[in-house]
Amino acid sequence: MTEPKLDLDQIRAVIKIASESPDVAELEVASETLKVVVKKVAGAVRAVVSTPASSPSASPAAVPSTQPAATGSTDQLVSITAPMVGTFYRAAKPDASPFVAEGDLVEPGQAVCIIEAMKLFNEIQSEVRGRVAKILVENASPVEYGQLLMLVDTTAP
């Protein structure tokens, strides 16, 4: 029997529902093949404060940096976060091809993007081996410290 692939969009959808429901501290959804448990950060204060959930800058960074992504499959998706404030570039030059695309296999130490800060180009490398599951930032966008840039699926063949 083949191992069904994780449906990332479904996971995202469940997280979105949880995020959009201020009263919910924890949401568990299980079907025959997939179980998603979402626990919201520090329910107390966050729930009182309605801002973070709706704030664009806060939500992406709410995922802990360089931690496994907060989905049901904690041991599979590894996040790459911005180690500095700057502009995110997928390629070394405007006309060059991107370092990586979704679905690409990356090795530890392989450059996956660049963050430009104070006129300096900082190469960001993957720390793990795996397949690029998702690139979460548009090319040439500003990124804040700790912002989630990419997810790498370490179980991918």
Q: Interface with a copy of itself by CB under 8 A: which residues?
A: 3-6, 8, 10-15, 17-19, 21-45, 47-48
CB of residue 36 to a copy of itself, shortest distance in Å: 6
Q: Which does 75 bind (CB under 5 to 8 A by kind): a copy of itself, another protein, none?
A: none
Minimal distance, residue 59 CB to another protein, in Å: 10
CB count, 10 Å around CB of 133?
A: 21
Please name which of 91, 67, 65 lies closest in space to residue 77, comparing C-alpha atoms: 67
Q: How far is the CB of 1 from another protein (least distance, A)?
A: 43
CA 36 to chain CA centroid, Å, is: 16
DSSP state of 44: H
Q: Nearer to a copy of itself by C-beta: 72 or 86?
A: 72
Q: Is 139 in the site for another protein (CB under 8 A)?
A: no
Q: How far is CA 94 from CA 10, 17, 23, 103, 115, in A?
A: 33, 37, 45, 22, 13
The reply on whether position 145 binds another protein by CB under 8 A is yes
How many alpha carbons lie under 13 Å from residue 132 in its C-beta half-sphere? 24
Residues that bind another protein (CB under 8 A): 42-52, 54-58, 61-62, 65, 84-87, 117-118, 142, 144-147
